[in-house]
Structure 1
Amino acid sequence: MTFGWRAMLKIKHVPEQLLDVTVLPVITTLMFTYLFGGALADSATDYLQYLLPGTMVMSVVMTTMYTGLAVNTDIRKGVFDRFRSIPMWRPAPMVGYLLGDAFRYTMASAVILALGLVLGFRPRGGPVGVLLGIAVLVAFSFALSWVWTALGLVLRSEKSVVGVSMLLMFPLTFLSNILVSPATMPGWLQVFVNNNPVTHLVAAVRDLMTGHAGTELAWVAGWGAALVAVFGPLTMWIYNRR
């Protein structure tokens, strides 16, 4: 909790770092809604019902990479050398980063939801479905962030962290069901899209916001558990060896 509070203080002193979870999600949602709404659904409002859970997922999972960037920055500044000399729970700095970022994920989700309600988004699942959808999204993003903490410990510069993270996240986000249904894609592409963890996440959030809870939740839970089980211990092994 102490390291989580440290992450919150960094936001307080550098508030412009919240632009990627406030301004950018607004731009993304408006852009996709009015660029593609008429072409894909004959109505921007109708398309928004399908799109908004997708843009919410895209905006949040894309910001998870900044966890690795923060880790890499602290290593470069020598802050981690001081942490290692303090008698404390060894994973505390890493978990603290992730707790602080969970606030950012929740803020991004709230901003997109508020904008969507203004534009005409009407979740049939009601407040409970919306809150459950956001909770699933934040929990999965917490699990995904462990990937970037491992990369932040291994890669040698901030630019490398951003470059590798974008290289991984762009295919996962755009080759998914965020913008269009996989049924409209070529068969060979559907194989990747239907097994993409982001696809399962978007489908689960959509189901919850429309008042359904299908098998997609099990897929999301499985992917999240696998990410934590693999990259959590890997992150700590790298951290202890550096």
Structure 2
Amino acid sequence: MTTVAVFRPADERLDDAVALLESLGATPVPDPMLEVDPTGVCPREDADFAVLTSKTGAELAEAEGWDAQTTTVCAIGDPTADALRAAGYAVDVVPEEFSSGGIVSTLEGRVDGARVEVARSDHGSDVLTDGLNDAGAYVHETVLYRLTRPDGAGESADRAAAGELDAALFTSSMTVENFLAAATERGVREDALAGLNDAAVGTIGDPTRETAAAHGIDVDVVPERADFESLARATLAAAE
């Protein structure tokens, strides 16, 4: 069976990821590299457009009582859109490309002079805010949550260093950076990099791929659809 490291936060996303990998005949190594720390802040309600970038952000916006009735709601990706709809929000825009660049391309002809709220984590890409600014929007960013590395993360680094991983699934640049930080703390960074480069490595999106490549990780798979199931299926196929 293919042994695959997965770095989702330790909530239902990790549970779902493990269940999916097991259903595909793989042996998951769950090693959460992200922990969500909500800020308790609500997205602005006076914007013409609001962009949410994650399922977590959608859920936190609902929890803070965000009123979006007069706002054009934009979601990067189907999971974000699904979470918004489940919370009772009408989703007006979902780009074909599930990325910051994709939403900029979709909105750039519509936001000149408009107020655009970007509600996301503290590690969001400048591609989104810079692109919207360049399109003429008045951009305001609200940090809904901070992302940190959980205490004790790093089993996957030890497994990679020992040559025990067949695949690894990175879902953001921060998961790459936190994996390497954990490997460094454990004194196995170089061996872990070597182990990853002997395995099949998949990333969601080009920014994550670029981060991995900048740190010396060879990326084998970037699926066309930026969702976890597509990443898992494509990377497991590459590991066979």
Q: TM-score range by the shorter chain?
A: under 0.3
Using CA pairs below 8 Å that are at least 6 residues apart, which structure has the higher relative contact order?
Answer: 1
**TM-score normalized by the length of structure 1:** 0.24
Give TM-score scaled by structure 2 length. 0.24
More strand by share: 2
Which is richer in helix?
1
